[in-house]
Structure 1
Amino acid sequence: MDANRLKNISVFADLGEDGLNLIAALASEVSVPAGKELVREGDYSYDILAIEEGTAKVERGGEHLADLKAGDIIGEMGVLEKAQRTATVTATSPMVLVTMDRWDVKRLAKQSPRVVDELKALIEQRRAHA
């Protein structure tokens, strides 16, 4: 994956070149159709999904909570903190996702713990401002 594409995803945008290159080497790209359930409430989180293109809706207990768009990230806390999914996320348009599974994150943490710490800090900052 091209590291420059990661700059368009807000949670990655502020990482340095080294961090972007490490993530790009581990990340995969996936295309999904509208209507595809990306994550299900209550399931365990194995992937971080960053939206490069498209939109999705977030629901908990059938109640609409939020709409997601390009630049948003899904599943990060579940992977970083080994928690269950707190909501169901469904694509509302065709999407292009950048994905990293739990093992990719572990490899990233071994190669550069600083990048994972930076990523956690950026995620926390975004949550505080949401």
Structure 2
Amino acid sequence: MLRMPHTIRLRTDMFARAAKLAGFRSDYGLAKAMDVNRSTVARVGSGELQPGPAFIGGALVALAPMRFDDLFEVVPASTPTADHPKERQGSADQHTRHRTVHDLAGRPELRRTGLASPPRSHLA
């Protein structure tokens, strides 16, 4: 039996929504909180670069209480993901595995941290 290598892919839509809900307004602010370069956030977000250990760990710390499965997925290395439009192969199974922010809003730990609702403007 031939085994395919696997890789970790960023769930770009969820990552972007979680960052926005956590109050990050730019890649720079998010990258600083993750302790990675701004270009790394942009390149992983665009699908140009696969997330490495520093990116994954930084994302889980900066976007806590988000969990690994909320932000990332393990896929066969040659299989495109639904989150990357230029690589999309359109599988209904891919779409059903992706959680939405609406689904996550029901989690009590997100309500306590404010991730279940949009960040409040500090100007108001």
- What is the TM-score when the length of structure 2 is the normalising length? 0.25
- What is the TM-score when the length of structure 1 is the normalising length? 0.24
- Name whichever structure is richer in helix by fraction: 2
Higher CA-based Rg = 2
- Name whichever structure is richer in strand by fraction: 1
